[in-house]
Structure 1
Amino acid sequence: MWHGEYRDPRLVEVYDTERLLGWEDDFFLRVLADRVAPRVLDLGCGTGRLAIAMAEAGHEVTAVDPAGPVLDAARRKPGAGRVRWIQGSFETLPPRSFDAAFMTGHVAAHLGTDEEWSGALHALRDALVTDGRLIFDSPDPAGRPWRDWTRAGTERPIVLADGSVVQAWTEAGPAGADGVVPVVHHYHFDDGLALTSTAALRFRDEALLRETLRSAGFRVDQVYGGWGREPPGLGGDGELIVIAVAEPRILP
């Protein structure tokens, strides 16, 4: 899929403008502070707001993303010099190098196939020390949120730093039997430029997340449904926020 928000410089600017530090980042920073974790991985870091915040809190942060344009934007931010930025993906992670690993902003949903998801989880287990924690969010399919992803339900103006306005909205197709939802993001700029970005998001329920984590060598510690640590369900924020712990490796 195209994922233009990470690869087209104009869409990277729009993406970064919309994504300021919020309650989800506060949640992740609080979870990080729950245990000593000097070395932290941010996989799928995007434009780096959480990576920089974790580094400013005193952690040694490695931020990894496959898209060069978002890393370019991240490196230009104040405080970026505290972070080690790497263009790559889970295939490039060094073994036994991190005390905590994060995948935020629904990175998990972008790992659409079973092979990608399993590969990422096994790579993350190898990259973590024993008892290191994996923390990530994934959209909860229980409420079928894609039904509300229409122009009428999502259109909004985005004001860029130069004062220009981008009209943006999202449209989604029906979920497939495998839980994959096709998504198209639309962006209309003041100068007449119209861009679209496509994605396919994989919605995994709690049972599947637990099963795949266990198969990759993790023990699930907590699953929350919202940023206030509510239990999963329709009363939360429509999230499955997972904290998993890397189990000891069983040697042959």
Structure 2
Amino acid sequence: MRWSPFIVTSALSFFVSGSLAIPAPSNSTSHTLMKRSVVCGQNVRTAVAEDCLEHRPSLFFALGGTVQRPLITAHQLDPTAQDIPPGAACDHVVELQVLARAMSSSGACAVITALNNLNNPRHILLQPLADVINGAGNLVFLDSRVNSKKASFVVNAMNGARITTADPLNLAVSGYLRNQLISTGSNAVAQHLDTLINQITAIAKTTADAIPALPQGVRAQGIQIQQQALKTAVAQLRQLNDRTPVISRWRRVLGANVVNE
């Protein structure tokens, strides 16, 4: 494999979502990823390092600089290369945990569960989201050390927690996320995810609104139990105060500062 440093100046052009099956393939062996991979009760992580090769990301973000002042440098990859850059991980730029929190907090997961119980399979409803978050537009080769640190950085940023230079790798994560290509591309991915979530909730609302109310004093029986559960989930969705979309949560991550310590 041949790669060379270059200055990043152009806009992202690799927003292509692949068609990837749910659940994750058998070659996804890291059990530590499972908790961060579950969205609304479904493991939607399907991309591993080999998938990054298949989708041919044009960039590898390598770690350089010093221990105390690490730097992230973008390198352009040889498009004919058949191997993974040494020390690289296949990074989901917008992390699945951001999507999971947005959907859970908004009530979207509850309506998906209710739809699933009415023979609208959960994995089919979530497949478009999986295609986007595991697609070429959200996959980049990133130094594995930075990739490992990024998970906690994202959690702390979403929670508004203090992120410091006590771990210098936080500087590398911040530099990576603030790269113009990464920030521009990931914002587009986050907005796409929000559009797909809104489509799911629209289906739920339309379905629920078409279900007749039970006469007063009549107890739900059979499929009516699942139908009324959907109506309840949709009513709660409409009342929930936390409607923070993926894009707002992700912008909070991109804007997180690393303070000296």
Per the normalisation by structure 2, the TM-score is 0.26
Q: If each structure's helix is expressed as a fraction of its own residues, which one has the higher value?
A: 2
Determine which structure has greater relative contact order: mean sequence separation of CA pairs < 8 Å that are 6+ residues apart, divided by chain length.
2
**Structure with greater Cα Rg:** 2
